Structure 1
């Protein structure tokens, strides 16, 4: 400021974005002998973005000729365009760093200096440096600490809520469970850095055996499995929620389950999961989705035929599974019923929901009628998996899908698009039982007699198929005898083969729910 005397002219420097960045702008008044005050609407030492600097302007009071106000930027005259009583800088594309804007109003008294006022400001176009991290989560029911740094930030929010920043820019927040959150860091100039962060989740893996609902009710079948868990031979029990008959193993409160009479009382779901959790054992709930004779029959007989997969002639699809065997995976009631059961089971303590029969029945698609289907059956199944994952994740459960072994190379016959499903499922559980492969499959002459070879090649194919999806492969392995007697040696061969190709977890299947502990090593 070179002089202070009265003047009849006033100028105000303002910037819309600057005001936001500074929150409060305190005008500076310079009084002179022969003129009205000259006022600049910017605090001395202001910090602003490059965009804010482009909005700089000088406002001239009423009765003052804008042409008589001279603007200087960094000591040099700068062109301005008149806009009413405002002078807008013609070219305010300023480099980062410190600058000075001066407004000069010529004095009306001869030989006296002009009125002049200046403001220093800094252009800062560099946003804060934001980094966010969290450890991978293997238990979806535990809180998660998310931490990071917001270097250069003056404020930080997560999903719009303030987050406390340390002086060095570090921060830490605790989420109730794994989630996706949005961070926004803002500096004093108004520069913004944003990051959408998803907590990495990884299935903890399992060494599991299958148990039907009725099998769990039987002490003679249940106790040997609990003994294997105590010895550390297994760390997970797979217990049926809804099986191939359409029966639900516990008393479900899902309205449609009560309506169609599908609930049973084989076990108390909450009590069982609590008991196993106390032992340090995880519980996977197998939920047979679309093979559901109870729902199909009840729907057909109540006139809700669109819930049922039909022949092209309009009768219930049967084939080798029997009449009323498959519900229509494209129908919203069928989707809601299965997802409702999945959510309920997750809320009762099941750590995973593992779908089975998440497919269409075998046979020519042209011979089937799927009311309401939009797109392909494969697309409809993938969409169901996506909806299910969001639903069960809310209750802290992982999601798995059981698939045919052939689906890795031949998805269309059963509508199981492995890469598509893997985008949403935490793991794919292929049924690669050696007894179910034909001679010569994968170059193996006699698959059932060569359990290591067929398992290594088929599981390895699945592992490659899901690369980059974030999903894992946890195969179903054969613990029953069909054409060839299967004992500990054959079971162990499959486990070793699967591990050798990058899939160390497994689920053992025996429909009779009888397992030889010699096939599994105890915990050491």
Structure 2
């Protein structure tokens, strides 16, 4: 090549190099961050070093449920911290407040509305010239849980399976009693639960993680029950026991109410509940399994009565051993002695030890084969509420605490095949705070309410009856009508206690029959008869067909 040709070739290459550098510069600028350096010959070289912005707390295309949207905490970090002061943050085009906190910029978004959102972060400058860092995040807020609808569920007996049906529109997953079930395209589901608890819990979740939980009542209608009361000692008496069993043989009764724990705190059979053994309350007057077998052999049912919170044996043992929270107290911390029961008669319904003791007895009885557990004295003592204290009650009302206790017991005995009833004062229908028996609350938790509407226990003028004791039909019919109204819409039945004893006025078959008719006129064909001496008038009873 000639000198002239070589010179022209070098000039040509030199003319092309600035164009090449210019193309590299454009690519680098497009990348976002530029470093410019001056070479020895005065030429500039360009290198891309994109500064990094990182949004923490929010991924790309995230879906936020209600909990996430409420607690969302976002911040921005940069490999060049000087950029943080230059950043502008917008949400859906509107500026969002920020706060610089050390090496991060905290984003303080407003409450997030349902739907799609776009978060933008951009800035200029920093320690590197010609930079304009920018990043975006798109996300969706979905705070609407699935629409869960449950159909009523009913089983034939406590031992029968129940079918739970419903729809969960918008759900991706449904669990019934803790087990995932198949969902139809319309969100419908149906599953059979064997030996159901009183309430079967159903939870529906969507893809965002929103959930809704409801429960369906596994309703089991209590069968017709016409029972008579027997104490534990009464069962050991041949004449008293046979008197009641003969009425069963004659088809005039179909159930025996037999005491498990009575007003003195004594347990009639040899209970194996540890606390009962420790405090000496298990007396073993009768053999529970043999008694139940004998009654069942006649085709009758056995109701086990547990006097819950009137319990002198437990109260004395607890107070003497230093567990004073187990006892109802005065505001000054002494044992409560109102209501003519004695100073250590009532245990504290709010105390976990007391609650567990009674629930353990109920559970044991259901395991032994008692068909029903019937609580009595499931209440606070008589007297002004200001005169007594219940350690551990807190801000919960006595009425709610007792209703919760009933619910807890039912969840224990129901899977063992036993119904749960609660005996209540007749005045509880209109005066729920008098002894902390709220019928509306209790009816949501018990299989049946057993109001003690004995005519002799009503004062003159109650329900506009001048002399209730001499007017058994009127007072029973009117008072039970109130209980029917209070329990309407619940799954609970009303099975009243009726009076088969004389107190002030002689009660023969006609007076007992008047009460039975009054209950039937209110739609209540089941009943329990009370006579402390366990002597019942068969002439008052019709044959059960």
TM-score band w.r.t. shorter chain: 0.5 to 0.7
* DSSP-derived class of the 1:310 partner: coil
Tell me the residue number matched to 2:485.
464
1:523 Cα deviation after fit: 3.3
TM-score of the superposed pair, with normalisation by structure 1: 0.68
1:288 to 288, 307, 321: 307
Q: What are the superposed Cα offsets for residues 477-502 of structure 1, whole Å, 9 maximum, x if unpaired?
A: 10011101111110010010011012
Q: What are the superposed Cα offsets for residues 400-427 of structure 1, whole Å, 9 maximum, x if unpaired?
A: 1111111111121211111011110111
Tell me the residue number matched to 2:89.
none
Equivalents in 2 of 1:263, 1:434: separation in Å? 34
Equivalents in 2 of 1:464, 1:370: separation in Å? 31
Instruction: Report if aligned partners of 1:138, 1:203 keep a CA contact under 8 Å in 2.
Output: no
Instruction: Report if aligned partners of 2:372, 2:421 keep a CA contact under 8 Å in 1.
Output: yes
Equivalents in 2 of 1:300, 1:172: separation in Å? 50
Tell me the residue number matched to 1:343.
363
Larger radius of gyration: 2
Unaligned runs of 5+ in 2: 1-62, 64-145, 168-172, 207-212
Tell me the residue number matched to 1:229.
248
2:157 to 108, 133, 139: 139
Equivalents in 2 of 1:423, 1:149: separation in Å? 21
Q: How does 1:94-493 map to 2 (within 5 A)?
A: 136-140=154-158, 142-144=159-161, 146=163, 160=179, 173=192, 175-177=194-196, 180=200, 182=202, 198-319=217-338, 320-375=340-395, 376-493=397-514
Tell me the residue number matched to 1:36.
none
1:318 Cα deviation after fit: 2.1
Aligned pair in 2 of structure 1 residues 421, 499: CA closer, same or farther (>3 Å)?
Answer: same
Tell me the residue number matched to 1:104.
none
- How many residue pairs are counted as aligned between the two chains? 390
Equivalents in 2 of 1:183, 1:364: separation in Å? 43
Tell me the residue number matched to 1:509.
530
Instruction: Report if aligned partners of 1:247, 1:264 keep a CA contact under 8 Å in 2.
Output: yes
Equivalents in 2 of 1:402, 1:157: separation in Å? 36
Instruction: Report if aligned partners of 2:231, 2:259 keep a CA contact under 8 Å in 1.
Output: yes
Aligned pair in 2 of structure 1 residues 272, 172: CA closer, same or farther (>3 Å)?
Answer: same
Q: What are the superposed Cα offsets for residues 93-147 of structure 1, whole Å, 9 maximum, x if unpaired?
A: xxxxxxxxxxxxxxxxxxxxxxxxxxxxxxxxxx9xx99786x33531x232638
1:180 Cα deviation after fit: 2.0
Aligned pair in 2 of structure 1 residues 160, 378: CA closer, same or farther (>3 Å)?
Answer: closer
Equivalents in 1 of 2:311, 2:419: separation in Å? 23
Equivalents in 2 of 1:147, 1:420: separation in Å? 24
Instruction: Report if aligned partners of 2:152, 2:217 keep a CA contact under 8 Å in 1.
Output: no
The two structures, once aligned, show a CA RMSD in angstroms of 3.3
1:237 Cα deviation after fit: 0.8
Equivalents in 2 of 1:145, 1:420: separation in Å? 24
Q: How does 1:42-53 map to 2 (within 5 A)?
A: none
Equivalents in 1 of 2:523, 2:533: separation in Å? 29
